[in-house]
Amino acid sequence: MRRRMRLSLGILATAISAAAFYASTGLGTFWPLAYVAPLPVLIMSSERSWPVTALIAFTAFFLGSLNTPYGLPGWVLFGFPPAVAFAVATLAFRVAARRGRMPTWLASFVFPAVLTAYEFLFALISPNGTLWSLAYSQADFLPLLQLVSLTGLWGVVFVLSLVPSAAALAWQRRSVSLFVPALAITLAVIGYGGVRLRDASGSGGVRVGLAATDRGLPDAAITTDTSIAVVTAEAYAARVAHLAAQGAEVVVLPEKMVGVTPESAGPVMDVLGESARAAGVSVIAGFSRNAVQPRRNVALVFPSDGGPTVEYEKRHPVPFIERDYASGNTRTFFAGPGGLWGVAICKDLDFPDWLRGYGQRDVRFLAVPAWDFVDDARLHSRMAVVRGVENGFTIARSAQGGFVTVSDSYGRIVDERSSATDPVIVVAAPPGTGRTFYARFGDWFGWMNVLMVCALMIGAIARTGRTRSAA
């Protein structure tokens, strides 16, 4: 009977954790559950052997990550590695929580340190950057989100993991006081965010126009027919004129909104360049340069004065899908209304370090042509929002297969529309705050967690050595 009860409780803990992860992380949107998700597994860890604990932790996280829209490849890429890391972090908590292994106040910091160090190091080598990070679950919790302006994404992962870790330790030791350090840190972080948001200015700004459509996809992007390319460009040129008539000063159009060949590039560029000059607006538009090897995914800036165009080439092509595209290595800037502007394309915003290069230059606006996969539209838009808070710039992101979104440098959504509705909108967007602490000093907090984990490992090895010597 007792064995059956233990099995039932293990299954229940796994199910609750998995459901909470599923509902709050990845494509999940109910962010408060992210604080609850690890709790049942951590509480159970003291009552199970380490193999059973690892199995429960791995299964709970893996099942919770199955809301990925990318099918089997997504389960492998975004389910298996973090599930292993979650299991390791849970085992580390299990060891730390045992009496006498380390100072009691320090035990609750082990789980978040291991998880944060994993996410940071994995993002450095992953071809998908920070995609599927736990921290994005908190993108709508603005007081906590302000922390990324200091620590980057890694501070949010730490706080998000610290709360359930401290709660589980307090439960196991039957001591509410063990939750106090985590509570104090969390309240301090939220207090900082509240003060930062209170000081934020949301009035005035640059009138930014955005337009996108899902009609004609993907034919317009892959075409090598000059007549089709020109007709598509003319349709967008009409939108530029419409947006300018509504007062737009800058217009951002989607990624790969039209494919061009060496033969059709000139006529297409002429159409859009003339539309920018005639309307008196700067236009940022995405193109796929086809019929060349390798192909190139670029964004062109057509100045309002009819001057030379500026070209940006996507730094991070989507793995597998854009394997035949070249990778750019140069950031692009232009002087626009409201301050210095930068240009990036869709997947580039999954990589904080690349975007930090814009933050270091004190960019105030980032224009982002994008193309999402419909189901992941909200997640990708919120990842872009986080980059803006990290670096202090307003994001104007125009995505087909997703959303057109304008967010300020505090993470507030100024306006957002689905590309399925053929949006053509003008938004008054405030300039960003400019260079943040994170933009200046980068991933200091991520490295601090790596060092913390190394110190814990060295301490554990030393204790094991002393124990064997005593024996």
Summarised one tens digit per residue, pLDDT across range 366-396 is 999 999 999 999 999 999 999 999 999 999 9
Give the DSSP letter string of 422-449. Answer: --EEEEEEPPP----HHHHH-SHHHHHH
Q: What is the mean pLDDT of residues 395-423?
A: 97
Distance CA 148, CA 154 (A): 8
The per-residue pLDDT for 471 is 57
Give the DSSP letter string of 158-185. Answer: HHHHHHHHHHHHHHHHT-GGGGHHHHHH
Helices 444-470 and 80-97: angle between axes, nearest 10 degrees: 50
Distance CA 413, CA 406 (A): 6
Tell me phi and psi for residue 218, to 5 degrees: -95, 10
The per-residue pLDDT for 461 is 76
Helices 50-64 and 80-97: angle between axes, nearest 10 degrees: 140
The SS3 of residue 206 is strand
| Assigned token pair, 186 | 């969390």
The per-residue pLDDT for 66 is 95
Residue 308 has pLDDT above 60, yes or no: yes
Q: What is the mean pLDDT of residues 98-103?
A: 69
Distance CA 372, CA 415 (A): 18
| Assigned token pair, 356 | 């930090």
pLDDT band at 4; cut points 50, 70, 90? confident
Of 249, 272, 404, which Cα lies nearest the Cα of 339?
Answer: 249
pLDDT in tens, 148-181: 999 999 999 999 999 999 999 999 999 999 999 9
Distance CA 153, CA 168 (A): 24
The per-residue pLDDT for 428 is 97
Task: State the number of CA atoms in the 13 A half-sphere of 308 facing the CB.
Answer: 2
Helices 153-173 and 180-198: angle between axes, nearest 10 degrees: 150
pLDDT in tens, 252-279: 999 999 999 999 999 999 999 999 999 9
pLDDT band at 339; cut points 50, 70, 90? very high
The per-residue pLDDT for 369 is 98
Pairing of strands 339-343, 332-336: antiparallel
| Assigned token pair, 123 | 């993002």
CATH 1.10.10.60 holds for 206-429: no
The SS3 of residue 407 is strand
Distance CA 106, CA 96 (A): 8
Q: What is the mean pLDDT of residues 333-354?
A: 97
The per-residue pLDDT for 5 is 80
Residue 203 has pLDDT above 80, yes or no: no
pLDDT in tens, 34-77: 999 999 999 999 889 999 999 999 999 999 999 999 988 899 98
- Per-chain mean pLDDT for the chain: 95
Q: What is the mean pLDDT of residues 432-438?
A: 97
CB 209 within 8 A of CB 246: yes
Task: State the number of CA atoms in the 13 A half-sphere of 346 facing the CB.
Answer: 32
Q: What is the mean pLDDT of residues 110-118?
A: 98
The per-residue pLDDT for 129 is 97
- pTM of the shown model: 0.95
Residue 400 has pLDDT above 90, yes or no: yes
Q: How many CB atoms lie within 10 A of CB 185?
A: 16
Residue 8 has pLDDT above 90, yes or no: no
Distance CA 271, CA 282 (A): 14
The per-residue pLDDT for 467 is 58
Calculated CA dihedral for residues 251, 257, 263, 268, nearest 10 degrees: -30
Give the DSSP letter string of 387-399. Answer: HHHHHT-EEEEEE
CA distances 198 to 183, 365, 437, Å, are 22, 21, 19
pLDDT band at 128; cut points 50, 70, 90? very high
